[in-house]
Amino acid sequence: MQTTKQLHVGLIGDPVAHSFSPRFQQPAFDALGIPARYELWHTPARQLIERIRSLCEPDCLGANVTIPHKEAVLPLVDKIDPLAARIGAINTIVHRDDYLYGYNTDALGLLHALHEHGLGEVETYNGREHISLRGHTAILLGAGGAARAAAFALVDAGVEQLIILNRNLERARHLAADLLRSYDRPIFSLNDPSFLIPRTSSIIINATSLGLHEDISPLPVETLAQFDPDTFIYDMIYNPSQTYLLCQARLMGFNTANGLSMLLHQGAQAFTLWTNQPAPIEIMRKSLMME
């Protein structure tokens, strides 16, 4: 990317102030000498159409999209990548050749994060590397935009079974039905945590926003005591760094991680989509961990 004029890219959402994306995206642009500024674009729902239209300005590379707009932006872009279309949520928009393209990098970002935490094997087929989670049962808490990306990623990675637990049962059922159209795998939807049956080799992923607001929110599962000690518990929330769920899980001796690793990997892929260059991932990681 050879240009000297100031470019713009940013995060569209409501709220956006909690986001760490500028912390590691800006150093990545600076390291590669790309004159782009990563900005926070607070966008209430009523301003979404206008905001998406503004991405067509010649100096705009595109955007990230976060809560609550990942599903709402689908009809607002010109072309949708097949994975984002299957997931039904967009977290990255690229402005290229006067068109807006929608992608979802949360899915692969989550798999790379889980692999970094020691889960799954890298397998090669058709000359490409994939992360396999065969042998695991995944329990997914939530059925919103991030959960949809996680569900497709987990099933694509070969989990033996997927259990989706969400407050709004209809939303969980809808996600399970979308998955079952593409995959022949046991996929269950629940809204009552007391129906969760303990499984071995489980991965529990919190993709709800419970815990985002630092209150002592109820646990999205009734109790963790029923799970096997080698269950891995991942909370997509990274700010605050320790949600109530993670605190409880750590106290009980489970392996855990917060969503910082997913943030890094989904962001690195978005960077490559905007710039067509490999993301300087170690610079991004260092910038994210330093502050």
With contact defined as beta carbons under 8 Å apart, do 200 and 174 qualify?
no
Residue whose entry in the numeric block shows the structure tokens 């709402």: 72
Verify binding: residue 115, ligand NDP, rule CB under 6 A.
no
Verify binding: residue 242, ligand NDP, rule CB under 6 A.
no
Q: Mask: binding to ligand NDP, 19-38, rule CB under 6 A, as x and -?
A: --------------------
Q: Closest by alpha carbon to 274, among 17, 37, 18, 86? A: 37
Q: How far is the CB of 59 from ligand NDP (least distance, A)?
A: 26
Q: How far is the CB of 33 from ligand NDP (least distance, A)?
A: 26
Which of 51, 86, 95, 171 forms a contact with ligand NDP (CB under 6 A)?
171
- Rounded distance between C-alpha atoms, residue 291 and residue 280, angstroms: 18
Q: Closest by alpha carbon to 101, among 120, 84, 86, 122? A: 84
Verify binding: residue 67, ligand NDP, rule CB under 6 A.
yes
Annotated binding site: 19-21, 66, 91, 106, 142-146, 236, 238, 259, 266
Q: How far is the CB of 2 from ligand NDP (least distance, A)?
A: 30
Verify binding: residue 63, ligand NDP, rule CB under 6 A.
no
How does DSSP assign 108-121, residue by residue?
Answer: HHHHHHHHHTT-SE
**Smaller CB distance to ligand NDP: residue 67 or 252?**
67
- 70 is an active site residue: yes
Instruction: Note the helical H segments in the chain.
Output: 21-31, 48-54, 82-87, 106-116, 145-156, 169-182, 244-251, 260-275, 281-290
**Smaller CB distance to ligand NDP: residue 7 or 151?**
151
Verify binding: residue 266, ligand NDP, rule CB under 6 A.
yes
With contact defined as beta carbons under 8 Å apart, do 88 and 66 qualify?
no
Q: How far is the CB of 119 from ligand NDP (least distance, A)?
A: 16
Binding stretches for ligand NDP (CB under 6 A): 67-68, 70, 106, 142-147, 166-168, 171, 207-210, 212, 236-238, 259, 262-263, 266
Catalytic residue positions, numbered? 70
